[in-house]
Copies of this chain bind each other. A is one copy, B any other.
């Protein structure tokens, strides 16, 4: 299995793989140049051969996540525009949550990479096909991205990772935490505590997503 001849050592790809594995096992806070290097059997400084310091490492990780976002459904002629946008929103959330630390990574820098622009373009195609003017389509495209990425960010901050079982466990935790609070001034929140405890949940995200899409497709 070891390749013959002069050993092909590593590539940037391997480094990013290692970085995501590290975050998966030890959390985003454990992400450091030194630990990624150690995991690959390298000294910290050797990592600079593959990646432009910590900033370059983070940039490459963002590109990896963004590159994994499926866009094909946005051009699916068999679906209505609303359906296409809903499928896309669900897929975007899933993709980002699947990458440990993905939300934090994306939201930490501007959305201006190649993949981000390709996503924007696909959304523009879909939204103009639904009858929006090009300028409104652009505004709506950004609003949709903001809603999905904002959801994912808050979900990740709350400890979620897209796994339904983990989602369930967190909901139970949050429900218990809500009971602790004094009810004065929070009557409504307490009364609908079951919903509040499940804010970071696939079903509730889907509910909000459908409403947001409806808002975007409304004739002004």
Q: Which residues of A contact B (CB under 8 A)?
A: 104, 107-112, 114, 117-118, 120-121, 124-125, 128, 134-135, 137-140, 142-143, 146-147, 149-151, 153-154, 157-159, 174, 177, 181, 185-189, 191-192, 195-196, 199, 204, 207-208, 211-216, 218
Judging by beta carbons under 8 Å apart, are B157 and A124 in contact? no
Instruction: A157 to B208: give the CA distance in the assembly, Å.
Output: 24
What number of copies of this chain does the assembly contain?
2
Minimum CB–CB distance for A166 against chain B, Å: 14
**A187 to B177 CA separation, bound complex (whole angstroms):** 50
- Interchain CA distance A111-B142 in the complex, whole Å: 23
Q: Give the complex CA separation of A199 and B191 in angstroms.
A: 38
Chain B residues in 8 Å Cβ range of A142: 196, 199, 204, 208
Q: Which chain B residues lie closer than 8 Å to A216 at the CB level?
A: 211, 215
Cα distance, A125 to B138, chains bound together (Å):
33
Minimum CB–CB distance from A170 to chain B (whole Å) comes to 9
Q: Is the CB of A117 within 8 A of B181?
A: yes
Known: A134-B188, A189-B120. A112 touches B212 (CB 8 A): no
Of chain B, the residue at the smallest CB distance from A191 is B134
Per a CB cutoff under 8 Å, which of B111, B120, B153, B192 touches A135? B192
**A188-B153 contact given A139-B195, A211-B216, CB 8 Å threshold:** no
Q: Which of B149, B159, B189, B208 contacts A121 (CB 8 A)?
A: B189
The minimal Cβ–Cβ distance linking A187 to chain B, given in whole angstroms, is 8
Can you list 6 pairs linking A and B with CB atoms under 8 Å apart? A108-B157, A121-B185, A134-B188, A139-B204, A142-B196, A212-B215
CB of A146 within 8 A of CB of B137, answer no
> What residues of B have a CB within 8 angstroms of the CB of A111 in the complex?
154, 158
Task: Please judge, given known A-B contacts A107-B157, A177-B112, whether A192 and B146 are in contact too, CB under 8 Å.
Answer: no
Partner of A146, one of B128, B150, B181: B150
Most B CB within 10 A of own CB, among A174, A177, A215: A215
